[in-house]
A and B are shown apart, each in its own frame.
Chain A
Amino acid sequence: MKKFISVLMSALIIGSSAVTLSGCGGEKQQELNVFNWGEYISNGEDGTIDTIREFENRYNVKVNYTNYESNEEMYNLIKESNSSYDVIVPSDYMISKLIKENMLEKINFDNVPNFANIMNKYKKTDFDPTGEYSVPYDWGVVALVYNKTMVKEKPKSFSVLWDKQYSGNILMFNNSRDAMAIAMRLKGINPTTITKEDIDVASAYLKEQKPLLKKYVMDQVFTEMEGDQAAMAPYYAGDVAVMMSNNENLDYMLPEEGSNWFMDSMCIPKTTQNKELAEKFINFMLEPEIGKANIEYLGYSTPNQKVYDLLDEDVKNNELNYPKEDYLKKCYTFSDLPQDVYDYMQEEFLKVQA
């Protein structure tokens, strides 16, 4: 009996150590861990290029591709879970936060020759002033998507999200920063840099809105809007374009008060275990053909001149994708917030929802 137990115990110990070992890698094929937004890369659906497969085949590597729904979720996972990621695609304000907290690697641009394709105005940005840490992926604004069968008159402003006649049919961002920004702008506050008092104002306004809402959503917005389940939602322009192409009842509106103008860029976090391969991947994403396939799938706007040149004229002239300069002037960008303000915002938003 005793012998049996000791055999079992050692089997267990060997088994568990084998598990830890396999966790550390050691397979022959190189692996790349890409952490990106949901629905944010062309995946071969409907005859597009399957970007990840293409990269895997060309370099004979394995890509672990995983998704997040918000910058905050991504940040927490990078910071807390001991996960090793090689490429992430955060938004502007999150990039400055990551740079400040020393969580990003400097990119070796010798390995990213296609960076030359990026338009000059996007090569250096406010959130990455030295341009050493990030490579633009795409950009866009926040717009309203609405269902023409349920909303008869084209709205002019995001204040329509507080309109009682659409009670029960309104969707709202399930993301503190975006939701608060809309409320603040309508209350005359500039959402770029904010204080706790501004957050209180926005929370109060969002509490007023809550009874009118159908749901707080992120990527669920696709199902809701494409399936005619809700009347309107504020969302990112590229996704609005995708929804419109899947449901002809949908239309878009750019609010007169302006909205968030954002840029998502590819970065290499300090957790990387294969920086060179990560750079290869970034370079690959900047290739004109790959970039074109990707941006057409995403529906967002490209910062890549070579990709832009390949696009159809009607896409270039579409104001949802490439808004006119005077609309962009009304828009605001997000900046990194002090930790306590940021925590306060997260907490207050959860309280609005609870």
Chain B
Amino acid sequence: MKSKAPSIPYLIWMLLFTIIPLIMVVYYAFTDKSGNFTVQTFKDSLFYTDVFIKSLWIALVSTLLCLVLAYPLSYVMSRSSRRGQNILTMLIMLPMWMNFILRIYAWVLLLQNDGLIDLAVKFLGLDVPLLGNAGAVILGMVYNYLPFMILPIHAVMLKIDNSLIEASKDLGANKFNVFRKVVFPLSIPGIISGTTMVFVPTASTFLVAQYLGGTGDKMIGDVIENIFQRDKNIGSAISLALMVIILLFIIAMNKFGDEEVVA
């Protein structure tokens, strides 16, 4: 039980299938087709800066929307009975068990011409295409990743000691101040992990924009997939850039979280 040896198989596994593949990405990113060192791949990738920015923007909006939707729900959930909490948690997790592509496809069915929501909107006298724009992509993202925001916030709120709330009430804090001074600060770790868990997959996902977006809504994941079919080097360069951005984002979120806790 004192030995480190049991981890050896996994250490070897990590070397082979975590570290070496990443080295391969770096290697291909810095070489051309004949294997010579180059940074031309990154210069070529600059063309996709707009797509990059658009992906990050879509991810940001989706994350914020998730937060706005999830926060009150998590709060309400954490105030309900244990039985109610169990049922709600299960109801929120259940759709995640449906295959990811099918969940997106369901929105295509709803939003397409003469789909259920399209008919409802037309009934209200509006005739706008619901499918094929950034809004539909964001909707799909929020739908897909909302549970990833609700669950961590809820988990943190559960841990808030009820006596803290009672105490602040006894000290004369009104409902709003209880929330501002007690509940919100204590829920920040949940917000941070929820934000990371939503932002990272939304920024890098592929397929969602292909189904729900229009011709102008290509996301960086779709570009990577597409480019890899013919050019591994540029594809690796873009992947590397994406990885670095995501890593910086996670580091920033963690820093932010630490400072908050200290404050």
Contact = CB atoms under 8 A, between A and B. Distances in A.
Interface of A: 1-2, 5, 8-9, 12, 72-73, 76, 168, 210-211, 213-216, 227-229, 343, 346-347, 350-351, 353-354
A343 B230 contact: yes
A7 B30 CA distance: 41
Contacts, number: 52
Q: Is the interface of A mostly helix, strand, loop or mixed?
A: helix
Given A215-B214, A350-B223, 14 more contacts: A1-B5, A2-B5, A12-B9, A72-B229, A73-B229, A210-B216, A211-B215, A213-B215, A214-B132, A214-B215, A215-B132, A227-B113, A354-B47, A354-B48
B188 interface: no
Contact of A8 (B3, B9, B48, B51): B9
**A-B complex: 4 closest residue pairs judged by Cβ atoms:** A213-B215, A229-B113, A354-B51, A210-B215
A1 B229 CA distance: 46
A350 B223 CA distance: 8
Interface string B202-236: 00000000000011101000010011011100000
A351 B47 contact: yes
Contact of B215 (A72, A216, A228): A216
Contacts of B48: 354
B114 interface: yes
Interface of B: 3, 5-6, 8-9, 47-48, 50-51, 112-114, 129, 132, 214-216, 218, 223, 226-227, 229-231
A76 B227 CA distance: 12
Contact of A1 (B6, B132, B216): B6
Given A5-B9, A215-B132, A350 B215 contact: no
B9 A228 contact: no
A204 to B, nearest CB: 16
Nearest to B129: A168
Contact of B223 (A214, A343, A354): A354
Nearest to B5: A5
Contact of A5 (B6, B216, B218, B231): B6
Contacts of B114: 228
B48 to A, nearest CB: 6
Contacts of B47: 351, 354
18 contacts: A5-B6, A5-B8, A8-B9, A12-B9, A72-B229, A72-B230, A213-B215, A215-B214, A215-B215, A228-B113, A346-B230, A347-B231, A350-B223, A350-B226, A350-B227, A354-B48, A354-B218, A354-B223
Given A213-B215, A215-B132, A354 B50 contact: yes
Nearest to B8: A5
Which one of A12, A72, A216, A347 has the greatest number of beta carbons of chain B within 10 Å? A347
